[in-house]
Structure 1
């Protein structure tokens, strides 16, 4: 007889008694989950995570004493617990949601209402996705890398940025630190739920002088413009330096950094610098290696400045990064790249 699988241990953080009771009841209806404790503010949650750590913390955003942003920052920095933000209104709390994601929260979901099957389904699917993300991510098939510097290249320059957990804050710091008049275009792949991708792009645009918009099929990289991959499809380069969409391979998180980086290694004709930023798992490591093999500048964020060192660590382990730098030095390095001949 097959032994039962270990329960996924959850911690619940919410100052609203009605929300707590609703979530408790939902968790009790599903096999394979165990609610370890309930905390009613962030400070209490930090202490519980130290003494009785769950696998996933279900974290409210707005709370007294210590809010979800600061609690997430403390929990990610001091424990191995993953954080899923659970809030009743994402549009009303957009700034705090992306601040908490910058502090290391892995994803966000609306507080499920009892009887709303779609919200309940989404709630448990998010928890399962986080469980999947904590395991190493499968790599995409290798592509034939583009020929390095000996091949004729256009003068246009490209900066590629890939991130997951902790990415919003890291991306905001990079874009706010780079002069928006630099002669380069920027393309970003950030793991983000499809329902919040547009909010994220809007929020990111508010953090920087760079124009920021969602990438569209057929887009060309344009100097002075930031194109962000949507969460509906993987973003890829095709011949002619044009961006397109694909739904393959089917990863838990879309857009895949690996898929974007690998396609750029094959098709981008021009100078390119790529930085793999904070995130859990290994997405982007293999793609960054292919870019390095194609003769491009490849950078991984260092552990000290990462909310989660998983993705950059995976890149460092396979020799994908020419340079491993703290976030502020990544800004300087990308600025120097943009101005170099």
Structure 2
């Protein structure tokens, strides 16, 4: 991939150069702040930008917002102390950044742990670019399950979209909600806490053996897949092992379709790649109501576009109309009921 580096610290830039030196990727330009990156991206758009958060003139969050609005491309946040900057990381991801990783340390060979983590993230993004479109702005026995379930999948741009949807759900929302957001496990707790501050419903990470409760939001919290382990209990599994993203939205949607027999509504929000599209289509085929975010309101129109192309969505809605529709569907108890053959 053609990669650009945006960082005001020469040592950080050099550390990334060394990490990439033995890879097949090419560094096409570097910028010392967000404003310069916006200008350079307009003249020579790379496949991927390694974006710092704290810089003079324009920070990484604002630079990400402007690039995704004007000349969108894949953006990976690479900054010192990502866990200590969770709020800014989620803000950047809300503007369309795909993931975040710590800046590697400068060492002689560029092969330290930090360099390996960076290259692993880049390789994952490269696979996503290959399997989907680049970012654009715009059988077991089942018992009956009581109540309703809202299943949401999201990726790049997801934190802001999730906050927008959850923030419009009332405190007495009658369904249980489960979210699978593509995010490094180190940031999952911070994401749950951040979302909890943006909505009336309690938000926390899903734990092994959790049961679903109306009015509670559970977020996938590890690098394993979140699934139903029984008709009313959640848990984690390492299988299937070959998914590009962990946790996988497709895996959770398939699990929900297999075990849940109450009202089920599934929504696929902004994100890069195609994870969740096939699972959404299967849920629709079972008779469940499915929603995909529209192109105009998606920070990255990858996953919802894949769902639309498959005919997976019962409805394609702008972000601001998704929460009212969820309230209508789940409060009224409409949707698929009963057992599957």
State the TM-score, normalizing by the size of structure 1.
Answer: 0.90
What secondary structure is seen at the aligned counterpart in 1 of 2:13? helix
1:122 aligns with 2:117: yes
- 1:318 matched residue in structure 2: 310
What secondary structure is seen at the aligned counterpart in 1 of 2:215? coil
Deviation at 1:263, TM superposition (A): 1.1
- 1:141 matched residue in structure 2: none
Alignment of 1:152-163 (within 5 A): 154-163=145-154
- Going from structure 1 to structure 2, the CA distance change for 1:325 and 1:197 (only over 3 Å counts) comes to same
Alignment of 1:13-28 (within 5 A): 13-28=6-21
Q: Distance in 1 between matches of 2:72 and 2:64?
A: 12
RMSD: 1.9
Q: Distance in 2 between matches of 1:111 and 1:31?
A: 17
Q: Distance in 2 between matches of 1:10 and 1:155?
A: 50
Q: Distance in 1 between matches of 2:91 and 2:172?
A: 26
- 1:164 matched residue in structure 2: 155
- 1:294 matched residue in structure 2: 286
- 2:326 matched residue in structure 1: 334
Q: Distance in 2 between matches of 1:95 and 1:255?
A: 21
Q: Distance in 1 between matches of 2:325 and 2:179?
A: 17
Q: Once superposed, which parts of structure 1, at least 4 consecutive aligned residues long, lie more than 3 Å away?
A: 144-147, 152-155
State the TM-score, normalizing by the size of structure 2.
Answer: 0.90
Deviation at 1:145, TM superposition (A): 11
Q: Distance in 2 between matches of 1:145 and 1:167?
A: 32
- Going from structure 1 to structure 2, the CA distance change for 1:167 and 1:114 (only over 3 Å counts) comes to same
1:183 aligns with 2:178: no
Q: Distance in 2 between matches of 1:31 and 1:164?
A: 26
Q: Distance in 2 between matches of 1:298 and 1:136?
A: 23
What secondary structure is seen at the aligned counterpart in 2 of 1:187? strand
Q: Distance in 1 between matches of 2:221 and 2:15?
A: 32
What secondary structure is seen at the aligned counterpart in 2 of 1:304? coil
Structure 1 segments unaligned to the other structure (5+ residues): 1-7, 138-143
Contact 2:16 2:115 in 1 (8 A): no
- 1:50 matched residue in structure 2: 42
Q: Distance in 2 between matches of 1:266 and 1:118?
A: 40
Contact 1:87 1:111 in 2 (8 A): yes
The Cα offsets for residues 60-103 of structure 1, whole Å up to 9 and x where unpaired, read as: 01122221111112222332421000111113321111010011
Alignment of 1:1-341 (within 5 A): 8-28=1-21, 30-115=22-107, 117-136=112-131, 154-250=145-241, 251-341=243-333
Contact 2:269 2:292 in 1 (8 A): yes
The Cα offsets for residues 170-201 of structure 1, whole Å up to 9 and x where unpaired, read as: 01111111112211110000011122222222
Q: Distance in 2 between matches of 1:81 and 1:209?
A: 34
The Cα offsets for residues 231-256 of structure 1, whole Å up to 9 and x where unpaired, read as: 32101124423212221112121110
Q: Distance in 2 between matches of 1:313 and 1:239?
A: 32
Q: Distance in 1 between matches of 2:159 and 2:165?
A: 10
Deviation at 1:114, TM superposition (A): 2.0
What secondary structure is seen at the aligned counterpart in 2 of 1:202? helix
- How many pairs were matched up? 323
What secondary structure is seen at the aligned counterpart in 2 of 1:303? coil
Deviation at 1:260, TM superposition (A): 0.5
Structure 2 segments unaligned to the other structure (5+ residues): 133-138, 334-341
